[in-house]
Amino acid sequence: MIRLTAVLRRHASLSPEAFRAHWAEAHAEVIRATPGVADRVVRYEQHPRAEAPGRWTGSDGFDGVTVQWFRSMDDFGAMLRDPGYQANVAPDEGRLLDLDGSVYLLTDEPRVIIGDRG
């Protein structure tokens, strides 16, 4: 399993409330409804930033985290090249996110130190 973890900054044109609403409703539905994306994403998680003060975390300016699971790097790459992704998801990401100000990390299977893997 491959995981894309993205620490997201909202597009400058969006308020925090508008970002959260669009991300939770419209963007999630675009992903769910787009063939070539929905059938390659094994799991899609949204983690909005908590409303609590977070200066000590270094997370000021970030609005949330998404974790997307894929069976393989080939599936991840195929999703990015898919015409449905290019026509539907990518333009919505451009309206929703500060793409250059967000951070993206692809990782392999976790090495669990504490906790249940199931």
Per the structure, how many domains does the chain have?
Answer: 1
Residue 64 lies in a domain: yes
Find the radius of gyration of the CA atoms of the chain. Answer: 15
State residue 97's pLDDT score.
Answer: 98
Q: Which residues of the chain, if any, have pLDDT below 70?
A: 52-58, 117-118
Kindly state whether residue 35 falls inside one of the protein's structural domains: yes
Q: How far is the CA of 46 from the CAs of 6, 95, 96, 106, in angstroms?
A: 10, 17, 14, 16
Q: Is residue 112 part of a domain?
A: no
Residue 115 included in any domain: no
Look at residue 65 and tell me if it is in a domain.
Answer: yes
d(CA 50, CA 58): 13
Digit-coded pLDDT (tens) for 37-59: 999 999 999 999 887 655 656 67
pLDDT at 23: 97
pTM of the model: 0.85
Residue 18 sits in a domain whose CATH number is 3.30.70.100
Asked whether residue 116 is assigned to any structural domain, the reply reads no
Rounded Cα–Cα distance for residues 60 and 100 (Å): 16
Distance between CA atoms of 34 and 85, rounded to whole angstroms?
7
The reported pLDDT for the residue numbered 55 is 61
